[in-house]
């Protein structure tokens, strides 16, 4: 399966501009997205999926279960399901949800 930015569904809010490349309708086991971060994400947890982030450009900080983790270009971070987290910075990231992302599984914590 091939997915392209041109066919990706755009999403986002202040500080986050994202592109959903795939979702559970494409493949149940994993979904993929790309996001340009220019601020703060907002504290959440995902109740069903582990999440993998790879930083392709820039730098920032993840706050993973209360621990501050600096990240920079080509760093990868795994966020286990049900783990509270947030992040901020000026960076471009690729992310994967395993199993695939479903609406309602991200719980806002603030």
pLDDT tens, position by position, 9-56? 999 999 999 999 999 999 999 999 999 999 999 999 999 999 999 999
For residue 45, tell me if it sits in a domain.
yes
Residue 110 has pLDDT above 90, yes or no: no
Question: What percent of the chain shows pLDDT beyond 90?
Answer: 96
Report the CATH number that the domain containing residue 34 is assigned in CATH. 2.60.120.10
In total, how many domains does the chain have? 1
> What pLDDT does residue 75 have?
99
For residue 1, tell me if it sits in a domain.
no
For residue 90, tell me if it sits in a domain.
yes
Q: How would residue 91 be classed by pLDDT, with cut points 50, 70 and 90?
A: very high
- Quote the domain boundaries for residue 53: 8-108
For residues 102 and 24, the answer to whether their CB atoms sit within 8 Å is: yes
For residue 24, tell me if it sits in a domain.
yes
For residue 2, tell me if it sits in a domain.
no
For residues 91 and 53, the answer to whether their CB atoms sit within 8 Å is: no
For residue 3, tell me if it sits in a domain.
no
Cα–Cα nearest to 67, from 55, 85, 49? 85
For residues 93 and 54, the answer to whether their CB atoms sit within 8 Å is: yes
């Amino acid at each position: 399966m091939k997915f392209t930015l041109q066919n990706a569904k755009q999403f986002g809010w202040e500080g986050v501009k994202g592109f959903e490349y795939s979702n559970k309708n494409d493949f149940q086991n994993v979904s993929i997205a790309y996001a340009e971060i220019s601020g703060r994400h907002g504290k959440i947890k995902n109740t069903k999926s582990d999440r993998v982030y790879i930083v392709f450009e820039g730098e920032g900080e993840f706050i993973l279960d209360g621990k501050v983790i600096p990240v920079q270009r080509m760093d990868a971070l795994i966020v286990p399901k049900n783990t509270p987290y947030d992040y901020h910075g000026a960076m471009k990231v690729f992310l994967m949800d395993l199993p695939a992302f479903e609406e309602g599984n991200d719980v806002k914590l603030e």
